[in-house]
């Protein structure tokens, strides 16, 4: 059994709060504003030795003309289809509503275990108030809980886990994490949907549609890794609401926890200041990077367009120019597999370990050919080079006067490393240490 639990219900009943409590982290954004969660959000939980996946969903609203609510409903239906056990959450504080009754009609036709969960039962009086939810006709015991403080969740978890085997789910922490990042509305969610071949993430023309960072396993064509969709990152001055602030923080955290970032830019707008800020953030965190110029199908082209666009991009990202630039379209799926292959190659470049003997043979020969310039009448002698045991490529050069080595000479050494070994898309750190 796949062991999947979906948390569903109308908006603002506390689904994301329960999701965070079950998985033990604050992965989903929680806010008093209705409709914060949009896409399906996944996490792992364990109870009494049984592991299972938890899906957080947006609030289901029937007969709505709102574009977001229509797309959210589609995601809820996908979660219902995917899950083995369904938690139907209602709000004891507000009481029974028409939205609850409409959603209950939908659930009564589903041939899966459905548990009715009355949330916000913070006092003993609320337990009696929750009895009105029996009118929904859900064939299950009523579980009164408080997702905020954990009251009643133990009994609920016991009931959930009675449907699961004790087989451990596969741990995916060791898999490469590839984050798709960029400004709002450049096509990040569309790109992931095109890659995995399903409407996994909500896509609209409205900037800021994605809020949580969403994790999807990609296991096909000989590749196996985790794809991370992130919220669009805007300048601080333009972040006007708390929810968007937390979304941007989730995106920054996704970059920090990733191995490789696929930076999407809009071909119709080119690389703007905020795109460059995101690129520098990736570089400062020493993550691998591939630049995807999305919406390339919308550009009128001749035989010089691609070369001119690429030249302008490399000038803007200098001095770190050793990056793959791929022109893609999420709509036509143009070059998307090539982009994935480039990201995997960057991951391999980032994790490679060089032989110390070979590193010294090549680099000491390059140093002998062009030695560090003398400073204050003293000559700098570099005698030994080694790669440090770090997550990203770092090299230590042992010399007599490390404080006299200039940045220009460090760039010469980095260029020599890149000439002899493939570190495309990977920032390199050089440290000068006293012999």
Closest CA to 184 of 206, 169, 151, 152: 206
Query: What is the C-alpha separation between 73 and 388, in angstroms, rounded?
Result: 50
Strands (E), 255-364: 260-266, 288-294, 325-327
Q: How confident is the prediction along the chain (435 residues), in pLDDT tens digits per residue? A: 468 898 999 888 888 889 988 888 765 444 444 444 545 677 788 888 888 888 888 888 776 655 556 667 777 887 788 788 999 999 999 999 999 998 898 888 888 899 999 999 887 778 888 889 998 988 888 999 998 888 889 999 999 998 887 655 555 567 889 988 888 888 888 888 888 776 544 444 434 444 445 677 778 767 788 888 776 665 544 444 444 444 556 667 778 888 999 999 999 999 988 888 889 989 989 999 999 999 999 999 888 999 999 999 999 999 999 999 999 998 999 999 999 999 999 999 999 999 999 999 999 999 999 999 888 888 889 999 999 999 899 999 999 999 989 999 999 999 999 999 999 999 999 999 987
Q: What angle do CA 105, 3, 256 make, to 5 degrees?
A: 105
Query: What is the C-alpha separation between 37 and 250, in angstroms, rounded?
Result: 13
Query: What is the C-alpha separation between 38 and 41, in angstroms, rounded?
Result: 9
Closest CA to 164 of 119, 113, 118, 215: 113
- Ramachandran angles phi, psi of 22, nearest 5°: -70, -40
**Chain centroid, CA 431 distance in Å:** 31
Strands 223-229 and 214-220, how do they pair? Answer: antiparallel
Give pTM, 2 decimals.
0.63
Closest CA to 294 of 268, 324, 255: 268
C-alpha gyration radius of the chain? 26
The sign of the dihedral angle between the CA atoms of 51, 57, 59, 63 is: negative
Angle between helices 153-161 and 15-23 (to 10 degrees): 70
């Amino acid at each position: 059994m796949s062991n999947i639990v979906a948390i569903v219900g109308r908006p603002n009943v506390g689904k994301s709060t329960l999701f965070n409590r079950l998985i033990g982290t604050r992965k989903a954004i929680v806010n008093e504003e209705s409709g914060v969660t949009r896409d399906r959000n996944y996490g792992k939980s364990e109870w009494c030795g049984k592991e299972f996946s938890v899906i957080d969903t947006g609030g289901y609203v029937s007969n709505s003309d709102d574009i977001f609510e229509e797309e959210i409903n589609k995601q809820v239906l996908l979660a219902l289809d995917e899950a083995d056990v369904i938690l139907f959450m209602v709000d004891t504080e507000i009481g029974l509503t028409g939205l609850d009754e409409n959603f209950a009609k939908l659930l009564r036709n589903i041939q899966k275990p459905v548990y009715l969960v009355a949330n916000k039962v913070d006092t003993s009086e609320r337990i009696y108030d929750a009895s009105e939810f029996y009118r929904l006709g859900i064939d299950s015991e009523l579980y009164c809980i408080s997702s905020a403080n954990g009251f009643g969740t133990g009994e609920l978890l016991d009931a959930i886990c009675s449907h699961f085997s004790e087989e451990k789910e596969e741990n995916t922490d060791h898999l490469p994490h590839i984050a798709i990042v960029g400004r709002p509305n450049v096509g990040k969610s569309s790109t992931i949907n095109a890659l995995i071949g399903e409407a996994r993430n909500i896509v609209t023309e409205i900037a800021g549609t994605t809020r949580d960072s969403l994790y999807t396993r990609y296991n096909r064509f000989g590749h196996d890794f985790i794809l991370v969709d992130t919220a669009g990152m805007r300048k601080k001055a333009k972040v006007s609401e708390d929810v968007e602030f937390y979304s941007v923080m989730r995106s920054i955290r996704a970059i920090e926890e990733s191995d490789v970032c696929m930076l999407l830019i809009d071909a119709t707008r080119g690389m703007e200041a905020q795109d460059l800020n995101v690129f520098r953030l990736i570089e400062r965190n020493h993550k691998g990077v591939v630049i995807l110029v999305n919406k390339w199908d919308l550009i009128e082209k001749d035989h010089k367009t691609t070369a001119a666009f690429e030249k302008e991009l490399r000038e803007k990202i200098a001095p770190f120019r050793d990056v793959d630039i791929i022109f893609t379209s999420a709509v036509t799926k143009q070059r998307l597999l090539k982009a994935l292959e480039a990201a995997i190659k960057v991951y391999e470049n980032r994790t490679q370990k060089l032989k110390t003997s070979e590193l010294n043979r090549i680099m000491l020969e390059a140093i002998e050919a062009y030695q560090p310039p003398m400073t204050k009448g003293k000559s700098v002698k570099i005698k030994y080079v080694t790669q440090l045991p770090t997550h990203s490529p770092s090299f230590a050069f042992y010399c007599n006067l490390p404080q006299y080595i200039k940045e220009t000479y460090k760039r010469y050494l980095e260029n020599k490393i890149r000439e002899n070994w493939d570190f495309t898309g990977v920032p390199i750190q050089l440290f000068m240490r006293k012999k």
